[in-house]
A and B are shown apart, each in its own frame.
Chain A
Amino acid sequence: MNADVHEQARKLIASAGPEVHLGGEASPSANAWLAAHLQTCASCRAFAENAAETIRGLRAIPIAAERSLVLTTQMRVRRRALELQRQRERLWLVSVSCIAVTLGALLSSVALWRGFAWLGERAQLAPPVWQVGFLVFCVMPALVAAILLLARGTHCDSHLADQTGSYRG
């Protein structure tokens, strides 16, 4: 009998555990083969007995969660559930605001475009002129904000450079 046969038998025994006589999850033919092998192989029989003993020993080791751990976990989970719910509500609010702002911007752009066209017509301006005016009017708030932010950044940088210089000096 070669070593592979024993290893195959032992793998079957290990997978089935102490219920090896019930066959575990192996096929009926594999179980029949194992039963026949165990009849003749003392070392595999000893392995099966040891395996059963080991598994019984394993099952006898109790590890239980303490009540405080369970309560703390339940409390943490509830707190996190509340946080997630608030996050979801905030996200919903932001989404609704974004949609409202987009719709508002679209409607006001159409109204403004018509207003500029009317003004251009009244002032007898060429269409490209009032169109540029419209563009500047739309972009102006963003331009002003960008200039202010840049100025603030430059100011901060120079202030920091002054401080660093005085520290080094």
Chain B
Amino acid sequence: MNATALYFEGSMTQESTEIARGLRRRDPDLLDRLIEQYQHRLLRYLVYLTGRRELAEDLFQETWIRVLERGHQFNDKYTFSTWLFAVARNLAIDHMRRKQPASLDGLLNGGETSFDVPATGRASAFDVTLQREQNEHIAAGMLHLPAEYREALVLRFQEGMSLAEIASVASVPLGTVKSRIYRGLSALEPWLKGASL
């Protein structure tokens, strides 16, 4: 491992230790800072996981309350984001269990939301429209995927988590994570081509 990688690993461990210490004290200032820092990432994860913006916003608030209450359980050997997403995931599953005895699968057909897809890059109007359309297809395709696949794709490609971190959040073996990503991407392939399934 080179010096830069060691430096970053060291600073990450130090950050996790500081967060763990603050969470044990239930430091409200630290929580304010963490809410600011992880607001978009956590909400995005929950929106993809539940497929419903309103529910995701409720769970967003509940997640932070849970972080406050159970902060002493955070182990600084792991990154805070991994633990945070695991807390959010458990809350989402608990929510579904209260509604109907189910696992993450229950989140699939609960309702649908639409993701606002912006135009990207500097390209011709035609390219922009095409790109936007394609993104809309992908967003629509995401809503039709099983929640486990959606979760794996979001954590891998939007949150940039490692396979091991995803396995830790989802409490599944590494091989399952790889399979979910593969199956998720394969299932999105027809949507990329604009098919409406």
Contact = CB atoms under 8 A, between A and B. Distances in A.
Contacts of A61: 115-117, 135, 138-139, 142
A3 to B, nearest CB: 13
Chain A: interface secondary structure? helix
Interface string B141-173: 010000000000110111000110000000000
Interface residues of B, number: 49
Contact of B44 (A55, A63, A73, A84): A63
Interface of A: 7, 10-11, 14-15, 17, 25, 47, 50-51, 53-55, 57-65, 69-70, 72-74, 76-78, 80-81, 84-85
B178 A74 contact: no
A61 to B, nearest CB: 5
Contacts, number: 122
Chain B: interface secondary structure? helix
A65 B68 contact: no
A70 B33 CA distance: 11
A25 B163 contact: yes
Contacts of B185: 14, 50-51, 54-55
Contacts of A70: 35-36, 39
A81 B42 CA distance: 21
Interface of B: 26, 28, 31-32, 35-36, 39-40, 42-44, 47-48, 57, 60-61, 64-65, 68-69, 115-118, 120, 131, 134-135, 137-139, 142, 153-154, 156-158, 162-163, 178-179, 181-182, 184-186, 188-189, 192
Contacts of B64: 73, 76-77
Contact of A76 (B39, B61, B134, B162): B61
21 contacts: A11-B178, A11-B182, A14-B178, A14-B181, A14-B184, A14-B185, A15-B178, A47-B186, A47-B189, A54-B185, A57-B134, A57-B192, A58-B154, A58-B157, A61-B142, A63-B44, A63-B48, A64-B40, A69-B43, A73-B61, A81-B28
A58 B192 CA distance: 10
A109 to B, nearest CB: 39
B57 A58 contact: no
